[in-house]
Structures are given as C-alpha cells and as structure tokens.
C-alpha cells in the first residue's frame, strides 16, 4: 500500500515523514521548497507494511523553473497512492494555496486524512476548527516536531491498511542491490536514473543542485531487485551556497557507506575535474565496489572515428582516476539512453567477480615471484618478508564484498603503499576483480612460527 504526504511548501511534510518513518531521511529546514524529489520509506504498523512517500511542496515554491516539475512529480505520487496525508500549517492558518490544493486532491477520489501540523501546544487546539471549512471528514491535529497527535494518526493509518497475507510472507527475501549514483552537480545523475527506469521519477533540471535529498528508488528487472540512491551533487566544501547544500553533501557522503556499488557519473563534455577525483577518493576510502559512467556522450561523439573517440575517453578516465583503475568505465548518454542499460551488465560482472577465489598455491607462487623480481624497499633498515598468503572467505553477508588477501609477514608496518599497489597489480594478473578494490590485511608472524 502506498501513502503520500502532500501539501504546500514548508508546512512540515518532511518532518512528518521522518516522524512516521522514524528515520532522518528527508532534509528538514526552514527554507521553503527543500524537498524536490519524491522520497520513499518502507514502514510497518502492527505487522502491516506500507510505503510512505514524501513529496515536494506543490504550489509556488522553489525556483520557477522547478515548480512545474515538482508539482507534476507530486501529482504522479498522489495518483499512484492509496491514501493521502494532506498536511497544513496550523500556525499560518488557512491559506489560498491550501484551498487550491484541496480541490486538486478531492478530484482524485482517494481516502484523505487532513493533518493540521504545528499544533505544538494544547492551547493551539482551537486553530484546528478553521480547517474544517475545507470539508474533509478526517481532520487531525498533529505536531511533527514534538510528536503529539502521532499515535492517533498511526491508529487512523492502521485502519486503512489491508490485513497482511501470512502465506505469502517469507523471511528469506533478498535485499535489493543498493547503487549510489554520485557525481558533481549537474553531471546527469538523475537523468541517468530516469533513463534506466524509463520514468521521470527523479526531477531533472539544468539548475545545478536540483536533487537535495538522497532519494531511494526501488526497481525490479529480470527478477533482480535494485535500489537506486540518487544523491545531491557533491561540491567542493568551500562552494556550498547554503546550509541545505551542506546537509545534502553530508548525506551523499553517508550514502556511500550504505551502498553495495557506487556509480561515479562524470560529465564527459566537461571533462574530469578535481572534484570528480575527490569523490572517487571517497569511494576508494570506503572500500566500495565502483563503476564509472561517462555521461553526455551525445555532446562529445563525433561523426567519424566514434570508436577511437570512445576509447580515448575511457583511457583518459583511467589515467585521471588511476587510483580506482579497477573500476569499469561506461560511455553513455542519459539524454538519448545510448548504452545506459549496459550498467546492469556491468553490475552482474562485478557480482561474479566478488565470488571469484584464487587458489592458495597459485597465489603464493605468484607473490613469491613478485617479491623475488622486485624486492620491497627497506624501511628503517628492515625489509618486508612474506611467509604465506591466502584469500580469506571475506564478508559472506555482502554480495559485493571486496576480495581480501591476507599476508602473513614479519612486520605489517613494513608494507609501503607503492609496494602494496605493486602486489595488487600482480594479484589482478591472476584474477582481475573488475569494479572491486583488493584488501591486503597483514598479520605478523615470525620466521620460526611460519
């Protein structure tokens, strides 16, 4: 069952969403028009599950270029929902925009709960009577900020929820593959998701920074479930135009930690910038599976020597982002959809690579040959010695866990970063592990014990 939260800007929709979902998902701020995309969360009341949707303020908020798309996105959510939570501001009183929106939701012929928000004190209760003039049957005073009226609201919602079918419930449902779509502002992240979903789910605009929340979008394809996380464009810290953008970027950075795969979207027409490298470094630091999408190919493609141009673009991306050169590179155009669906083949390739295992004998022969051909450097008069290496079973709960090659050595502190990269290159000659970083944890052993 789908439940939509709607209302004009700054009436407290996102605060109510966070209160019901019991999560800090939507960004709450005093500036009108903060929520632009549709945000959803799976919720449960007494064993009954439903999907809760937060929408952008529908009437007259935000930049003029965005208002139409925000409204269209919110209206689409209402049409697809089974219950509408119509939120109004009890402090402001009844507003002409509220009357316009009331006419809009009434035309949908859906069950509606009218929520008068910001009733933070019992003495504010008389203000609720004013909203009865809209003619809705269910009018509830609530305070999303303080939680008053929320238990009564949840009880009302529970009455609308269907009784769950126990026979079809199963405890071994696989979690969807979580893909974080990351990049600089206006690189085409939301457009790429829309191209993959063939749906104007994420709001697309030429205004950089259109996406402010990290938006979770569920999608099923060929019996596989995906969760696309559309994030705010990550700017350099010194260039944030508002506190809202600071919160958005912090949330985008946190998104990396909960993703299975990070897709770094780069504006191919603009080229790779310092901020692209910073985002790539965040992904590398989090040890996450990664792929690179060179977007806006339609602006770069030439009429002749297209293949050579594409190969040059891929080679340049690998050179500029050499520290994540294991990430497969896709050249695509979100605008035309060209090559966009190859992302799913790329994901499957990374999934298979995560299951690959190098035999212990083969691994040790290769690493011993590497040590003999290129001995490690001296560190404070000592040299790294390898006694034994093996690939651990890794984190079995993570489908895209990076391979972990455990090195038993005389002293872990003797392993320098350049030599670690050299060993990683030798390991990739045995098994390329596309899209996956290779972890090289070291354990100290004496030569006698080994």
- Report the helix count and the strand count for the chain, using DSSP H and E: 12, 17
> All domains of the chain, ordered by start, with CATH?
2-167 (3.40.50.300), 177-354 (3.40.50.300), 360-444 (3.30.300.20)
Q: What confidence tens digit (pLDDT) does each residue in 398-422 have?
A: 889 999 999 999 999 999 999 999 9
Write down the pLDDT at residue 203. Answer: 38
In the predicted model, residues of the chain with pLDDT beneath 70 are: 23-38, 56-71, 73-74, 165-174, 199-215, 232-252, 303-304, 395-396, 446-450
Both tokens assigned to 263: 């897709």
Write down the pLDDT at residue 398. Answer: 81
Crossing angle of helices 243-258/274-285, nearest 10°? 40
Write down the pLDDT at residue 288. Answer: 94
Q: What DSSP assignment string belongs to 286-318?
A: TT-EEEEEEE-HHHH--SS-HHHHHHHHHHHHH
CA-to-CA distance for 433 and 350, rounded, in angstroms?
A: 7
Phi, psi dihedral angles at 368 (to 5 degrees)? -65, -40
Q: Is 141 left (phi over 0), alpha (psi -120 to 50) or beta?
A: beta
Q: How many CB atoms lie within 10 A of CB 198?
A: 10
Write down the pLDDT at residue 444. Answer: 92
Write down the pLDDT at residue 348. Answer: 95
Write down the pLDDT at residue 46. Answer: 78
Write down the pLDDT at residue 88. Answer: 92
CA-to-CA distance for 329 and 292, rounded, in angstroms?
A: 5
């Amino acid at each position: 069952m789908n439940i939509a939260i709607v209302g004009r800007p700054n009436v407290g929709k996102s605060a109510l969403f966070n209160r019901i979902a019991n999560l800090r998902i939507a960004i709450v701020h005093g500036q009108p028009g903060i929520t632009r995309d549709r945000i959803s969360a799976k919720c449960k009341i007494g064993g009954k599950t439903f999907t809760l949707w937060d929408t952008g303020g529908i009437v007259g908020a935000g930049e003029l270029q965005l208002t139409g798309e925000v409204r269209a996105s919110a209206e689409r959510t209402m049409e697809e929902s089974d219950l509408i939570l119509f939120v109004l501001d009890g402090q402001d009183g009844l507003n002409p925009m509220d009357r316009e929106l009331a006419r809009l939701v009434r035309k949908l012929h859906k069950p509606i709960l009218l929520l008068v928000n910001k009733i933070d004190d019992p003495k504010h209760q008389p203000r609720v009577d004013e909203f009865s003039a809209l003619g809705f049957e269910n009018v509830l005073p609530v305070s999303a900020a303080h939680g008053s009226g929320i238990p009564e609201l949840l009880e009302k919602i529970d009455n609308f929820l269907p009784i769950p079918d126990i026979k079809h419930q199963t405890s071994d449902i696989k979690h969807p593959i979580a893909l974080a779509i990351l990049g600089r502002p206006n690189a085409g992240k939301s457009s790429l998701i829309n191209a993959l979903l063939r749906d104007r789910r994420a709001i697309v605009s030429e205004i950089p920074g259109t996406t402010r929340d990290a938006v979770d979008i569920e999608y099923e394809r060929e019996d596989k479930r995906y969760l696309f996380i559309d994030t705010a464009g990550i700017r350099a810290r010194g260039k944030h135009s508002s506190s809202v953008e600071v919160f958005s970027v912090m949330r985008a950075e946190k998104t990396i930690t909960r993703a299975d795969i990070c897709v770094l979207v780069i504006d191919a027409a603009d080229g790779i910038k310092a901020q692209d490298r910073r985002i790539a470094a965040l992904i590398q630091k989090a040890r996450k599976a990664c792929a690179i999408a060179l977007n806006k190919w339609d602006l770069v493609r030439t009429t002749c020597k297209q293949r050579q141009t594409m190969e040059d673009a891929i080679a340049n991306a690998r050179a500029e982002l050499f520290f994540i050169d294991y990430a497969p590179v896709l050249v695509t155009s979100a605008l035309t959809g060209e090559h966009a669906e190859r992302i799913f083949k790329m994901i499957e390739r990374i999934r298979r690579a995560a299951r690959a295992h190098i035999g212990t004998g083969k691994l040790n022969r290769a690493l011993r040959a590497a040590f003999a051909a290129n001995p490690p450097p001296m560190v404070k008069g000592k040299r790294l010695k390898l006694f034994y290496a093996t690939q651990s079973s890794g984190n079995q709960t993570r489908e895209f866990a990076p391979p972990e090659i455990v090195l038993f050595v005389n002293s872990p502190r003797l392993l320098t970063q350049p030599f670690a990269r050299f060993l990683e290159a030798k390991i990739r000659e045995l098994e390329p592990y596309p899209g996956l970083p290779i972890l090289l944890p070291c354990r100290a052993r004496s030569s006698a014990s080994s």
